[in-house]
Structures are given as structure tokens and as C-alpha cells.
Amino acid sequence: MRNRLLPARRITAAGKAAAVAAAAALALVLSGCGGSATAESAGGGGTEVKTVRYQGSPNTVSLLEVAEDLGYLGDVKLEWVSNTTSGPQSIQSVATDQTDIGGAFTGAVIKLIEAGAPVQAVINYYGEDKDTFTGYYVEEGSPITSARDLIGKKIAVNTLGAHHEAVITTHLKNSGLTPEEIKQVQLVVVPPNETEVALRKKQVDVGTLGGVLQDRALAEGGIRALFTDVGVIGGPFDAGQYVLRKDFLAKNPETSRTLVTGVAKAIEWERTTPREEVIAKFEEIIAKRGRNESTEALKYWKSVGVASPGGRISDNDFTRWSDYLKSAGIINGDLDTAKLYTNEFNQLDTTTPAAESKG
């Protein structure tokens, strides 16, 4: 199924919001809202868990994996469960106790928590800056030059209801399109690794590309950016958080501190370490885990992307998406940020501004 281009789907905000809520509610019923078996036994015996389950991504290295490899997690070990298909799927796996930590776009985190999932954001893990951002690309000769030209066109995104949809919707709204016109812009779900091919084969009109996939496509030539998320939202900014279940945090506070602080240290290590050394570390980690992956695209890595020092979360990381969330029917009033995140487990000293990346 990953190699097939899925049918175009029209943006229907209210319908998606209801579906997300229903899915989350069902997942919580199935899981009984309980913690993992290891966490429960640990809580009863007074010993915290030292193995943390997570999902990875093919051909890439997460901050979690960097933190473990550099020794920042101490005696806490990671257990790879599988590769995730998207951010929303990653954090739903946490909510349903299939994993212990996962990450997604801020809007997806808000959706899940608003639907009643017992998770909380603990650290920013990705963002956008002048070097690392998402672009929305058309072919060089495409007649599409403005937001209005996108009416009736297809835009490839990795998943619905997440970062890309929020940016696209914001861009269309800021460009003067009406809600009815925005509905006519079709979002097509395409795996990120296949987006460039889908664009060049004219299966979609616009391809969403970020990170090493974007740089590789640009190196091939023949495409141009119609807009970027940094241009739409303004940057640099943090765009997604790792979440943990509340019961995991309550039963395993020291493990949680080690985990979150380790990720914070990994963020600053990637920010301040020469680019060539970071890429070499990525290649080393991929080679050691033995999952038959390619390291070819890693040479295009530029920066960690996280804007805040040590990934520390602020209210603004959530409130910047309020207009989009309201227009999508996900929230009605102001956000209650207190229930969305905590910095309690991030013990890295972040009193100084984030250091500049070193090339």
C-alpha cells in the first residue's frame, strides 16, 4: 500500500475533527486508559522502568536515538517497536500504550489531548529555521504561481490533519481564499519518500518536501518553491512535541527526566556540533541498528531545526495555531495550555539563548 498513490481527499475540517475524537475515544476504551504492564509493575514495586518503547523512521535518525548513542540516557534504554507512518499515528500509539514516547505536529498533539487522551507534551523535537523548513513545490514550468491557482489542484502531504494541512490552510486563508474555495484544494496522502516522484510524474500538482528529501529534490533541479512554512508562519519556530502518557510520568519521574533531558542535550549537541560530525553520527547509528536502510540522503542534513534552547516548550508553541484549530472546528475558545504541556522533566539549563548551528 505504501507504493500506491492514495485517492485525493477534500479538506473537511468538521468531519476530520469528529473522526479524530471518535478514534481517540475508541482507542482509550480499548486500552482501558491504563499504563503499560511494565510501568504498572514498576509503580507497585517502587522501581522505575528503564526500557522505553518508541517508533522510528526509515533512513533517518531521531533525537531519541542520538541521545541514547551519545550516552545521554544513562541506564535508560530504548526499545524500537516499529517505524511510524505519521506524527498522529505516533502519538496515538503512546495514548493506547503501544509505545511510551512519540512525537507529532503541535496541532495533532492538541487534537489528541482535546479528545481526552491522557498524554502530555514534554519537549519540542522539531521546528523550522532558515536551514531546515518545509517547502511546497511545483515543477519549474508549472502555471501555478499563486494561492488562487491552487483551487482544484492536488497537493501531496504525508498525512491529513497535521503540520502540512495547517500551513496550507493558513496560507490559503491569508491569501484571501474563502472557506468554500479552500475546500476545493485537494490534499493527497503520499509517503514522503515518494512525493518527489509523484510531483515529477504529474500525479500531483504540488509536492510537500522538507529536510533531506527537499534538498535531494532541489539538487535534481526542475522544481521551485511556491511557498514555505517559515514564510507563512514566520520563523524560526517550533512545530512539534514529544509526548508521554500521564501515568508513565507519574510512575516513572526519574526515567522521564532522564529521557527528556537526554533529548534536550541531543538537540544542543546537533545544534553546536560541526555538520559533518552530526552526519557521521547518523550514519553510524543507522549502520549499527541493521534495518537495511539507506544513508544516501543524510548528506543533505543541515540543522536540528528546533528553535528553542533545549527544546523547552512555551505557550506560543501552541497558541500560534489557534486560528487554524478554530477554523477546523477542533477548538472553540482559547487554549488551556496548562493541560497541554510541561517543562518539569526538562532539566537542561536553558537560561542562555540557543547556540547557532556550526557548519
Q: What is the pLDDT of residues 286-334, one digit of tens each?
A: 999 999 999 988 988 999 999 999 999 999 999 999 988 888 888 888 8
Side-chain half-sphere CA neighbours of 134 within 13 A: 25
Q: Which of 302, 314, 306, 304 is nearest to 238 (CA)?
A: 306
Q: What is the pLDDT of residue 351?
A: 64
Higher pLDDT, 254 or 11: 254
So what's the pLDDT on residue 46? Answer: 65
Amino acid 85 reads: T
15-127+237-339: CATH number? 3.40.190.10
H or E element in which residue 148 lies: none
Three-state SS annotation for 167-220: HHHHHHHHCCCCHHHHHCCEEEECCHHHHHHHHHCCCCCEEEEEHHHHHHHHHH
Output Rg (C-alpha) for the chain, integer angstroms.
Answer: 20
Q: Lowest-pLDDT range, 40-49, 187-196, 295-304, 320-329?
A: 40-49
Mean pLDDT calculated for residue range 330-344: 92
- pLDDT more than 70, % of the chain: 84
d(CA 198, CA 208): 11
pLDDT given for residue 234 in this prediction: 85
Which of 205, 188, 244, 265 minimizes the C-alpha distance to 49?
244
pLDDT, tens only, 120-179 = 999 999 998 888 899 999 999 999 999 999 999 999 998 888 889 999 999 999 999 999
Cα separation, 167 vs 17, whole angstroms: 17
CATH for 131-233, options being 3.40.190.10, 3.30.230.70, 3.40.50.720, 3.90.1150.10 = 3.40.190.10
Identify the CA nearest to 354 among candidates 64, 129, 163: 129
Q: In this structure, what C-alpha cell is assigned to residue 348?
A: 537542561
Q: How does residue 42 score in pLDDT terms, banded at 50, 70 and 90?
A: very low
Separation between Cα atoms, residue 204 and residue 60, nearest integer Å: 25
Going from N- to C-terminal start, the domains of the chain cover: 15-127+237-339, 131-233
* The three grid cell numbers given for residue 27, joined into one nine-digit string: 482507542
Please state the pTM of the whole predicted model.
Answer: 0.79
Look over the chain and give the mean of its residue pLDDT values, rounded to a whole number. Answer: 86
The answer to whether the 15-127+237-339 and 131-233 domains have the same CATH topology is yes
**Which pLDDT band holds residue 91 (cuts at 50, 70, 90)?**
very high
What pLDDT score was predicted for residue 329? Answer: 85
The DSSP H or E segment spanning 104 is strand 101-105
Q: What is the mean pLDDT of residues 84-103?
A: 94
What's the pLDDT score for residue 3? 34
Q: What is the pLDDT of residue 228?
A: 95
107 touches 240 (CB < 8 A): no
CB 306 within 8 Å of CB 353 = no
Over 50: is that where the pLDDT of 22 sits? no
Residue 183 vs residues 136, 169, 206, 325: alpha-carbon distances, Å: 18, 9, 16, 16
